[in-house]
Structure 1
Amino acid sequence: MEESRLARINQLYKKSQEEGLTEEEKAEQAELRSEYIQSVRNNLRGTLNNISLLNPDGTVTELSKKEKN
C-alpha cells in the first residue's frame, strides 16, 4: 500500500476524532481501511507460504501445502 494512502487513513482518523467526518469521508475511510486490511492479509499469507516446518521425524512440511482439518 502506498505511503500517501496510509497518510490519508491517518488524516481521516485524526479528523474524525477532532471534528467528525462527512458521509463522503466516512465512505472513503471505509474503503481505505478495507484496502489496508487486504494488504496486511496478503503480506501475512505470503510470509506464511514461505515457512517450512521441521517435524520430529526429520521430514520437512511446507506450511502452504499442509492440509486443513
Structure 2
Amino acid sequence: MLSKDKIQRINALAKKAKSVGLTDKEQMEQQELRQEYLRVFRSSMSNTLHSVTVVDPKGNDVTPEKLKESKRKRLH
C-alpha cells in the first residue's frame, strides 16, 4: 500500500500541474510516484483476482482456466 504522504504528494503535484504547471524536476517526481502507484495497484489487483473463485448458479466452479493456472503457478 502506498503511504498517505505519497498519495498526498501525487495529488498536490496534480493540482499544481493544473494551476501553474510543474518544473522538470516535479514532472519527473510525478512520473515516478505514478509508476510506483501503478505497481502497487496492479499487485493488489493481482492478489485480489488470485483469491477469486467463479461459481455458476448451480454451484459449479467455472473459474477461467487461465486464472486457475496462474493460481497454481503462484503456489509453487
Bin for the TM-score computed over the shorter chain? 0.7 to 0.9
- 1:14-69 deviation digits (Å, cap 9, x = unpaired): 111111100000000000001111111111100000001225775436664247xx
Please give the secondary structure, in 1, of the residue aligned with 2:28: helix
Structure 1 residues without counterparts, runs of 5 or longer: none
Report if the CA contact (8 A) 1:15-1:21 is conserved: yes
Please give the secondary structure, in 2, of the residue aligned with 1:54: coil
- AA at the equivalent of 1:65: K
Please give the secondary structure, in 2, of the residue aligned with 1:17: helix
| 1:20 partnered with 2:15 | no
Higher strand share: 1
RMSD: 2.2
Matches within 5 A, 1:29-48: 29-48=30-49
Report if the CA contact (8 A) 1:49-1:62 is conserved: no
Report if the CA contact (8 A) 1:50-1:62 is conserved: no
Moved more, 56-65 or 3-12: 56-65
Percent identity between the two aligned chains:
34
